[in-house]
Amino acid sequence: MNEFHEPVLLNDSITGLNIRPNGVYVDLTFGGGGHSKEIFKNLTDGYLIAFDQDQEALKNGKLNSNRFIMINKNFSHLQTELQRLNFLNVDGIIADLGVSSYQFSDNNRGFSLKYNSVIDMRMDKNSKKDGVFVLNKYNRQELNRIFKEHADFKNPMFIVDAIINYRKKKIINTTFDFKNIFKNFIPEQFENKFFARLFQSIRIEVNNEINVLKSMLNQAQEVLSPKGRLVVISYHSIEDKIVKSFMKYGNFLNSQDKDFFGNKQSPFQVVTKKPIVPSDMEIKLNNKSRSAKLRICEKL
Ligand SMILES: C[S@@+](CC[C@H](N)C(=O)[O-])C[C@H]1O[C@@H](n2cnc3c(N)ncnc32)[C@H](O)[C@@H]1O
């Protein structure tokens, strides 16, 4: 097992890229480099361009080759960075969304409720907004929106009220402050799931994850060559719905666009009618893979 990050659905995602040995590929989420290393093994004279917005990922085993280019930026810069490098089209793109194990297990970064740390949650440490800001500065409407949109709570006002009452007395600074807000609120057997959903929604807000995902998908469509593959692994239903709709219809509305003559308009052929999920064995070996869903499509 790789302590830094164990790659999820490695074989299926690499097979899904349909790699040509002289092609150009993009790994949008380098993390521990598991997927990148496997892609690179399949290239003889092709290029691999990798993104990660977290400076920590750069410290972890960049590939030593002039056919490998690492970019320490948000993947929402995909198109401009490819233009800067003079790659006008690429043959495949992979995004393994979310958080790496090294980020979760760093007890200074506030991604995990296991450790008592400041609720930072920024993947890019240069960005301005962290979890403390969201929890202490967002007003009622903004908090309500994030718990509804990012965690699917139907009526999150009881959560919002609890946060607002708490912060009238004391700043919400650490993960344990956060847990304290809801002490005696939620039956013990539901606590883990409840906190996981809440925490995920704050992380999504801090990192603007929904907007950058949509922006990246639109850009991926632009830069992929015909027959180029887009491979995405997502870890929660909000991301998965966005990816599914985009691969099927080329939009986020989950509905088919038709042209003037009624012909279906879609930029992709869906390769995975149903998402590929990890086997029981993979989940047993790597519990963090349990919610993964892999979807693949091909540019028409
Ligand atoms: C699940 S991990 C990827 C793991 C990687 N596939 C591996 O096998 O090691 C996600 C990584 O993507 C990065 N990341 C997430 N969202 C990003 C974004 N919008 N732009 C750039 N990097 C991002 C995170 O910092 C994290 O290191």
CB of 5 sitting under 6 A from ligand 1: yes
- Give the model's pLDDT for residue 263: 79
- Give the model's pLDDT for residue 2: 65
Distance (angstroms) between ligand 1 centre and the Cα of 33 equals: 9
CB-based contact 170:176 (threshold 8 Å) = no
DSSP 42: T
Residues of the chain falling short of pLDDT 50: none
What contacts 246, CB < 8 A, 6 or more positions away?
A: 214, 217, 221, 252
Nearest to 75 by CA among 105, 104, 95: 95
The maximal CA–CA distance of the chain, rounded, in angstroms, is: 62
- Where are the domain boundaries for CATH 3.40.50.150 in the chain? 10-102+209-299
CB of 32 sitting under 6 A from ligand 1: yes
Distance (angstroms) between ligand 1 centre and the Cα of 86 equals: 24
Across-strand partners of 93?
26, 230
CB-based contact 129:265 (threshold 8 Å) = no
Q: Which two tokens stand for residue 207?
A: 């990192």
pTM of the model: 0.96
CB-based contact 44:22 (threshold 8 Å) = yes
Q: What is the pLDDT of residues 51-100, one digit of tens each?
A: 999 999 888 767 899 999 999 999 999 999 999 999 999 999 999 998 99
CB of 204 sitting under 6 A from ligand 1: no
The one-letter amino acid at 58: L
CB-based contact 17:271 (threshold 8 Å) = no
Mutate to test the pocket of ligand 1, among 11, 109, 123 (most ligand atoms within 8 A of CB): 123
Distance (angstroms) between ligand 1 centre and the Cα of 102 equals: 11
DSSP 104: H
The verdict on domain 10-102+209-299 having CATH code 3.40.50.2000 is: no
